[in-house]
Structure 1
Amino acid sequence: MSLAKPSGLLPASGNPPAISLRRPSLIGGSALLLLVLLSVFGVFAAVGSVVVPGDGPATAAAVAASGTLFRAGIAALLAVVVLDAVIAAALFEVFASVNRSLSMMAAWFRLAYAAVFLVAICRLLEVPALLDPALLDGGAQVLRAVDGFNTVWKVGLILFGCHLLLLGYLAYRSGFMARIFGILLMLNGLGYLVDGFAIVLVPGYSFSVAQFVFVGETALMFWLLIKGRRLRTGKP
């Protein structure tokens, strides 16, 4: 009686068949690109452009004068939350073959961050109702709502920093990415961790470490769109 394994189940080498990273890389890279565009519009062009730091009445007046733009910015940020979930799933597939458990953990950290970001956006949704002229301190409340958005979002970046640290480790150990990508991602994650904890621990903290180390996320996006879609790796 032959003890040979039935043909067709495994390659002759006994190794599992390679799988293509094309689909998750294209989805993840494209979603990251769209996320960047929507984030810039929502945070800077729509919300940031109408906020006058420290001046509630001026902020309320600016929001009232640009109501459509302000609402469009909120809609863009809500779309960013959805894209974060898509990116979490795509990156899990890309790095599952390196370490499935850590890849899953990284995805959950990003999803947790997206949930916190959604809570932050809900503070912005309060603003239109606060523009009622009957509210004598409406301007102060508008400013508090906007400041609340910024505070919750920036503290939530602690979770995003953990996501990038794990992603950087996976990239460093992957074998299919240059180790520099992993190093840049981990530095990026550390920057978010420093900023997030500093918001909690340092009164009036306004510096941003992350703005000097953001290159890791940018490099990952281009790697996914250019290199990742061409690769095949082992089945997770």
Structure 2
Amino acid sequence: MVETTIRSDEGYVPESDEVNLADHSVRRGSLIAGLALLVMTPLAAFANFAVLDALVTPGNAAQTASAILNAEGTFRFAIASLFVVAVLDLTVAWALYVVFEPVSRGIALLMAWFRIVFAGIFMVAISQLTGVLSILTTANSVSAFSTEQHYAQALLGVNAFYDIWDAALILVGLHLVLLGYLVYRSGAVPSYKSGYVPKVLGVLLAIAGVGYVIDSFGRVLLTGYSFEVAAFTFVGEVLLIFWLFIYGRRIGLGEKAASITD
């Protein structure tokens, strides 16, 4: 692997082929991260808002079960969409690490691991929904449990999905806080001048991360917590997608690229 993080105090000047490969890696990572975020956003919105919110009636197991069974194909497609989102989360974690490794390798790695762990937990949450389908499709078969009990179990599975997902979002929040720091500091890397990262984007990303953290702790600590801070602090996440496409691809490590930390 080509060493892309070079210390200015070592007096090392990379070969042109080395620089070109590093340039290509950073720009490719930027494009991949932007594309993955762009694809996963509508998929997550479709699965969560268009399907789950429409089919699930909190506290009413029978109505929820009936709605899911009547739209089983759509429910399955929503589950598949969420699995794709989890895989794209892994892609985003790797791509953003590549983009911001020149700023600080250690912090970029920690940022990536927060999102990777979230993706793993998110897959566990999604598996609860696949269990819901299994329970509902066998509700009318010979069983020691009544149909009503099957419906109640199914609703518990849906609730488990939301509980696990909500708890895991704290990792997304920490990921965004570190990403915000990296974006904010990236302006100090001479090589990033061509791709100019406005410091305000870093601040907005950190604010978005804090919003997720507040919501996660709010649901754990407060009964009936319903205020969504993240619904008002997501601006940085949207702007990041545009920056990755428009400015990120212009980033070049230049002839005297240097890491500012580590």
**Aligned equivalent of 1:190, options 195, 200, 210:** 210
Does residue 160 of structure 2 align to residue 148 of structure 1?
Answer: yes
Deviation at 1:127, TM superposition (A): 0.9
Distance 2:175 2:121 in 1: 14
Task: Report the TM-score, using the length of structure 2 for normalisation.
Answer: 0.82
**% same residue:** 44
Does residue 119 of structure 2 align to residue 114 of structure 1?
Answer: yes
**Aligned equivalent of 1:59, options 39, 64, 67:** 64
Deviations 1:116-141 (A, max 9, x none): 11111011111112211244312211
Amino acid at match of 2:83: L
Does residue 186 of structure 2 align to residue 174 of structure 1?
Answer: yes
Give the structure 2 partner of residue 221 of structure 1.
241
**Aligned equivalent of 1:209, options 211, 229, 233:** 229
Deviations 1:96-132 (A, max 9, x none): 0000000000000000111111111011111112211
Amino acid at match of 1:36: T
Contact 1:60 1:138 in 2 (8 A): no
Could you list the structure 1 runs, at least 4 aligned residues long, displaced by more than 3 angstroms after superposition: 13-19
Distance 1:24 1:177 in 2: 15
Deviation at 1:15, TM superposition (A): 3.8
Distance 1:61 1:161 in 2: 35
**Aligned equivalent of 1:68, options 66, 70, 73:** 73
Give the structure 1 partner of residue 140 of structure 2.
133
Distance 1:15 1:198 in 2: 50
Does residue 57 of structure 2 align to residue 37 of structure 1?
Answer: no
* Structure 2 unmatched ranges of 5 or more: 1-10, 188-195
Deviation at 1:71, TM superposition (A): 0.4
Distance 1:174 1:123 in 2: 40
Distance 1:235 1:63 in 2: 55
Deviations 1:52-86 (A, max 9, x none): 12211000000000000000000000001100000
Amino acid at match of 2:62: P
Task: Report the TM-score, using the length of structure 1 for normalisation.
Answer: 0.91
Distance 1:46 1:202 in 2: 27
Give the structure 1 partner of residue 129 of structure 2.
124
Deviations 1:174-208 (A, max 9, x none): 01411001000000000000011111111121111
Contact 2:46 2:78 in 1 (8 A): yes
Give the structure 2 partner of residue 82 of structure 1.
87
Aligned residues: 224
Distance 1:197 1:75 in 2: 28
Distance 1:46 1:211 in 2: 19
Local SS of the residue matching 1:232: coil
Does residue 103 of structure 2 align to residue 91 of structure 1?
Answer: no
Amino acid at match of 2:102: S
Deviation at 1:14, TM superposition (A): 4.9
* Structure 1 unmatched ranges of 5 or more: 1-12
Local SS of the residue matching 2:163: helix
